[in-house]
Structure 1
């Protein structure tokens, strides 16, 4: 990634409520809605976060202006996925404009409701490692993570999430490294209550009977061995959409977007570029 791209970034808060990072300089816009780890964020993006975001989305930066937007700190009055989606509606309507939307994990649940309520603001929708509901097999993990959140065990939560994300040797190495780092510099959520609230929101969400109301063309993409949104949930989500595509990575878990990053990013780009062409030809 060239120095020119790394210089093109901005950080701040929309309406003094929604922390964001903007990277890239492309003519198209991509809004990224992060997963549940966002609840353990301290609420302030800095230069290091911008450089990390630019590196994460480097394959998109020439053609897209990428906005990574966090949820507000303090979710007591917006405990449901629906309420969180209304926050992102405000961000798009008041600041970013219509955009393609990539929702990751919990962010994908929010993105579904955003697209259902405001198809005029969502040009294309990507549900990354996400589906219409949490799988039954993932519920015990979420319950345990919720318990740990009530006890403020942030380092342990992060390690457990990493265990659910990776395969092979990485599944052993990354959680262990995370715990070692956490003893020196543990996660520091700006609002600790946001963490159990977020786990509750994921557990309670079920958009199965509303999938047919999602108008934007949608890509459902994830790993078949994901404990939260496995192959059966990905297929169920795809089959319920009026205009959907499905891409699965055999044997991959919840961190497929990191562990098989090149394939994941290439498929997302292919989907977005195909849509951009169709929109321009209308």
Structure 2
């Protein structure tokens, strides 16, 4: 079981595909485990090396409290977290695995981590940003009622299932995604860590620094995203110096699960275009 360390925080990761190929590192959304990337991870592994890891507070990675929380209240509850620290977690994982350059793919909170990673560290070759936001005062926030539906008070089958409702299309949810619920039970963050990750998302603001991110960036967004409204993706693509936008008509927040073939075609085409090595 490969692990990396950022300070005293242990971070679990795993890879698939040829180790002599360029690495594609996936960063999951708020509260979700690495199951989220199952539809893309398998498609990428082969022409590339695919790397998935568990964010702090999620899956097999540690869920630490901050030093300030421990000092002030003695609480061992997870968080609060911030995106800068989570970007440093990604750096620890890539360094541990010996990655020189990586194509970083992030959804929601994971997209924010990818943006921060490109600002703070030097290993990012490209960014692919799905259903994410630059943050800041001009961003369209998650509506309050949607946030309440996403939050869980316990990690139970019923709550995990119902909290998928605002992130999926009605048709996909009606198909009764019990397999996804099982994966969530095994890999997702618990309630406290989920809230700690939401706090990181809420505090994030890269809106005034996007001009510094000069790597190629592909922005993918569903036009019916209730969690991160599509206006965020549009402004993100416009403000990134090498940003390009692909919208998925009527796509939900988890459009990359629901429309995995189309998303994978976009992703692999983008990665192929910007890969350093010959993939023939």
Global fold match (TM > 0.5): yes
Query: What's the counterpart of residue 104 of structure 1?
Result: 107
1:203 aligns with 2:208: no
Give 1:129 shift: 1.8
Aligned residue among 56, 60, 74 for 2:63: 74
Mapped contact 2:119–2:212 kept (Cα < 8 A) = yes
Aligned residue among 141, 147, 153 for 2:146: 141
Segments of 4+ moved more than 4 angstroms: 52-56, 185-192
Mapped contact 1:35–1:107 kept (Cα < 8 A) = yes
Cα distance between partner residues in 1 of 2:206 and 2:162: 26
Mapped contact 1:222–1:247 kept (Cα < 8 A) = yes
Mapped contact 2:39–2:257 kept (Cα < 8 A) = no
Query: What's the counterpart of residue 24 of structure 1?
Result: 17
Cα distance between partner residues in 1 of 2:118 and 2:192: 27
SS at match of 1:164: helix
Q: Describe the shift of the 1:96–1:36 C-alpha distance in structure 2 as closer, same or farther (beyond 3 A).
A: farther
Cα distance between partner residues in 2 of 1:223 and 1:55: 17
Mapped contact 1:30–1:100 kept (Cα < 8 A) = yes
Mapped contact 1:111–1:125 kept (Cα < 8 A) = yes
Give 1:191 shift: 6.1
Aligned residue among 34, 41, 47 for 1:57: 41
Mapped contact 1:162–1:174 kept (Cα < 8 A) = no
Q: Which moved more, 1:127-136 or 1:252-261?
A: 127-136
**Higher fraction of helix:** 1
Cα distance between partner residues in 2 of 1:62 and 1:178: 25
Cα distance between partner residues in 2 of 1:225 and 1:169: 13
Task: Tell me the TM-score normalised to structure 1 length.
Answer: 0.78
Cα distance between partner residues in 2 of 1:263 and 1:237: 21
Give 1:214 shift: 1.4
Query: What's the counterpart of residue 225 of structure 1?
Result: 224
Q: Describe the shift of the 1:269–1:228 C-alpha distance in structure 2 as closer, same or farther (beyond 3 A).
A: same
Give 1:122 shift: 0.2
Cα distance between partner residues in 1 of 2:199 and 2:148: 9
Q: Describe the shift of the 1:24–1:110 C-alpha distance in structure 2 as closer, same or farther (beyond 3 A).
A: same
Query: What's the counterpart of residue 214 of structure 2?
Result: 215
Q: Matched residue pairs, number? A: 251
Unaligned runs of 5+ in 2: 57-61, 67-79
Query: What's the counterpart of residue 275 of structure 1?
Result: 274
SS at match of 1:226: coil
Mapped contact 1:22–1:65 kept (Cα < 8 A) = yes
Query: What's the counterpart of residue 261 of structure 2?
Result: 262
1:13 aligns with 2:3: yes
CA RMSD of aligned residues (A): 2.9
Give 1:221 shift: 0.5
Unaligned runs of 5+ in 1: 1-10
Aligned residue among 27, 51, 56 for 1:33: 27
Q: Describe the shift of the 1:65–1:172 C-alpha distance in structure 2 as closer, same or farther (beyond 3 A).
A: same
Cα distance between partner residues in 1 of 2:149 and 2:171: 24
